[in-house]
Amino acid sequence: MGFKETLSELKKSSEFKEFRKENPDAYLCAAFFVINEKIEQRQIHFWLKEAKIATFIFNEDKTITLKKEEPLKRDIMQKLDEKINFDIEDIQRLIEKEIKKDKQDVQISKIIAILQVLDDKQIWNITSLLSGLSMLRIHINMDGKILEKTKGSVFDIVRK
């Protein structure tokens, strides 16, 4: 289940309808997915005018939990366009294609995908954890074009 289906599911929920009544000015600002063999985690984030983030967390038991919290940065997050042409399924295929193109003998362990606006561009910010403790980071635009690609090791994160 990708971003489009997740957002559609959210909009039909009673939790979202109540949230929308209380926060008519809130807007979609990010989406977060963790994918192993299946999607393990789904979150949709809305920016609130009091400089908070409202996070809708999709639980395994099919319930949706709402959390409101201070963002890590106080910067105003930009609004996302809900209409996207490149979704989770496309991301998995693109990563597999990039691994083959680089002639790497690795398997995808986990994909962390964040839909966000970065430098005034709506992108998928992807971190792929691969076997052998390697990592592939990619920024993909909404047309599926790779804007940035970095290979490294999980130890690169640990050093920082």
Q: CA–CA distance from 44 to each of 14, 70, 71, 99 (Å)? A: 15, 15, 14, 28
What's the pLDDT score for residue 160? 52
- Tell me which H or E stretch contains 28: strand 27-35
Helices 3-12 & 14-22 angle (0-180, nearest 10): 70
What's the pLDDT score for residue 69? 86
Give the integer Cα–Cα distance in Å for 54 and 15. Answer: 12
Tokens of 20: 């929308």
Residues of the chain with pLDDT under 50: none
What's the pLDDT score for residue 159? 54
Q: What are phi and psi of 88, to 5 degrees?
A: -55, -45
What's the pLDDT score for residue 125? 96
Give the integer Cα–Cα distance in Å for 145 and 141. Answer: 5
Tokens of 160: 């920082």
Instruction: Determine the 3-state secondary structure of 104 from DSSP.
Output: coil
**What domains lie within the chain, and their CATH numbers?**
3-32+41-69 (no CATH), 88-159 (3.10.450)
Q: What is the pTM of this model?
A: 0.89
Residue type, 18: E
